[in-house]
Structure 1
């Protein structure tokens, strides 16, 4: 549980995306991604893809190394005739280290070593102007098991310039922490998505999605002191994307904005900009910049100065948490990716990203004062072949 929760953000679950997209990030960047964006006909793919990826993640607080994650993964997509396709992925996370400490002056933190095994499968049927997909996913740790199902589809206009997309997903999680604080706790989450993709011009394509989630069950972190969260969490997520092809520069820019609001009181904004630049017939360079800001959960509290109370909250609140992911903070992420199509059917890509989280980076004012900065570095290496 601790390992899983420390790798989740406070901004939603993404059940439909997980079940339907087969591990976002596993699919390699294809060199043709820099071509002008156009709407696609709803057809089964003519070629299959097999991809391998290895990711390394490590975060730190001042003077202390924290979490380290090593993640090999594999992805396969194969057409079945002209009307069907199947795709799936498997991944293994080797997690070690310590979760972030509560406050600047607290040096202790729970340590862990965990192995997470996960997989998902999706089957898609292609019609003349629509698709229908059914997916399932499973994730297993020594103290946390999750199962999810999804149903998703698309409907395109007659000229294929407009595509409506929809989806529904459901997940059931079972929590059994090793400290026996709770036994056989559960959490159920459902998610609904509705969106539209529109080709505005031969150089412009936009997408807008609205996602609603409803969660019931155990949301607390059993490995943190004084952590008692509400047993329900509802969220609204809005996402807007705009891709533009700059023909004079040979650059495809990708701009996105994401708004998140939930019943915990967390409200966040994410702005991301990336650009695909063709360096040659076989090389594409993609720099990216991401900014994230959020306000604190209504039950989050910073350290109190009274030594008779610290580190517990004042009084006896029903809900409380010292988890820094529930605090108010801002974050910056800077990434760089290089994709090399060294053979017509082979692509190699490497990506690095640096992430910095600070309370002072929060938009519109300072965030929670009692939380240490957090710095993270991630590397990814991928290899893919079409067949």
Structure 2
């Protein structure tokens, strides 16, 4: 079990072909020495974020009882992210001084961060804010097996961006129920410690904020027949600390003249602010059925709920086909739906402003929406233990957001 740190909303998908291969080999999988190099190009619609992600991975057996695996990655991130912004130019030093005075007056009335001020709220607009960054990451995991082939896996991971650092560890234990190894139990825990830059009032400075994330998981794996396999697991997540996104903004109302009404001049630009705690969990089930040596199908379902009032359902289906000895094809479809967080307001909604105190976010990923992902991929065996794989995925949400991902790379087995 491994938890991955923030990636600016990028929904990473596993190497195309790796999942399909697992479908055909899941009942008789064994470790192999291998090294892989893959590149992922991710592009959001409407000229938003573009990501180039390069990952070098390895896995090696250290005798029959130990396996070492790991990866290093480098991401380049560019583009623009939409957020509320002021649009009226500052006309004079007096105008600037007045705006600063109004911001400081509102800031004195709230613990939330007020960023700036627009004299008429109708001049606020959601505009794309340019960003450019790079991310480096690394992880390593060691697996040890006892005489009964039960497995203990311990791992660590680290990633760094210009404004974000994440470090964590994980442990998982796989226990076989008996010598037949048709049933096994899985127990796991993971922890992340993140440090993020956060803008202060009037963008005057940048503070550091911490985030702690814990994840606990338990499940059972069961071989049903020589051609079928299923697993069921339950998970629990706990997050505490800075859970907001300092790149995103909202609009807050402040009754500065205390007349009981909010005028056009009493709306302020503020930071995205979320509760500093999140508790969630759910269940997941997975079923794999192979048809001979060339075709396999997979079906999985996941339910999640948390105290932000978000509930989600995920259904995955996948079909893989070993067309010839060198050629494997696979197709995958994912359907997802979720309810919105209790503190979310869509920027396009009629009621899109928040009170001067309390959580608030316009992040569309916290709203209610449906989504689907369609993937197609292939893996080709070139001989001498070399596998080349490539493919693509299309993702679309009911709120209009979409993205495309293209991936290619190779794996060398020894």
Task: Answer yes or no: is 1:270 the counterpart of 2:314.
Answer: yes
Q: Cα–Cα, structure 1 residues 194 and 204, in superposed 2: closer, same or farther, change >3 Å?
A: same
Larger radius of gyration: 2
Out of 10, 25, 29, the residue aligned to residue 18 of structure 2 is: 29
Q: Look up the match of 1:163.
A: 184
Q: 1:115 aligns with which of 134, 144, 166?
A: 134
Whether the aligned pair in 2 keeps the contact of 1:58 and 1:377 (CA below 8 Å) is: yes
Q: Give the equivalent residue in structure 2 for 1:332.
A: 372
Q: Matched residue of 1:280: which SS? A: coil
What is the deviation of 1:5? 5.3
Offset from partner CA, 1:342-386 (integer Å, 9 cap, x none): 114110000110111113xxxxxxxxxxxxx11110011020111
Identify if the C-alpha distance between structure 1 residues 180 and 384 changes in structure 2 by more than 3 Å, giving closer, same or farther: farther
Q: Give yes or no for the alignment of 1:349 onto 2:392.
A: no
Correspondent of 1:93 among 61, 75, 87: 75
In the TM superposition, residue 246 of structure 1 has moved relative to its aligned partner by 2.2
- By how many angstroms is 1:207 displaced? 0.8
Residue 365 of structure 1 corresponds to which residue in structure 2? none
C-alpha distance in 1 between matches for 2:338 and 2:215: 22
Change (3 A) 1:57 1:35: closer
TM-score of the two chains, using structure 2 as the length reference: 0.78
Q: Is the CA contact (8 Å cut-off) linking 1:54 and 1:382 kept in structure 2?
A: yes
CA contact (8 A) 2:82 2:126 kept: no
Tell me, in whole angstroms, the C-alpha distance in 2 between the residues paired with 1:31 and 1:274.
8
Long gaps (5+) in structure 1: 10-22, 360-372
Greater alpha carbon shift after TM alignment, 276-285 vs 24-33: 24-33
When the two chains are superposed, the root-mean-square deviation of aligned CA atoms in Å is: 2.5
Partner of 1:17: none
Go from structure 1 to structure 2 and tell me whether the alpha carbon gap of 1:209 and 1:34 turns closer, same or farther (over 3 Å shift): closer
SS in 2 for 1:325: helix
Q: Give 1:316 deviation, angstroms.
A: 3.3
Q: Which of 244, 256, 275 in structure 2 is aligned with 1:230?
A: 275
Q: Secondary structure at the match of 1:265?
A: coil
1:1-387 to 2 correspondence within 5 Å?
4=6, 6-7=8-9, 25-26=14-15, 29=18, 33=22, 35=24, 37-38=26-27, 45=31, 47-60=32-45, 64-101=46-83, 106-127=125-146, 128-157=148-177, 158-177=179-198, 179=203, 183-226=207-250, 227-247=272-292, 250-303=294-347, 311-313=352-354, 315-359=355-399, 373-387=400-414
C-alpha separation in 1, matches of 2:180 and 2:16: 28
Gaps of 5+ in 2: 86-123, 251-271
Distance 1:305 1:252 in 2: 45
- Aligned residues, how many? 346
Provide the residue aligned with 1:370 in structure 2.
none
The CA distance in 1 between the partners of 2:79 and 2:15, in whole Å, is: 25
The change in CA–CA distance for 1:286 and 1:180 in structure 2 (over 3 A counts) is: farther
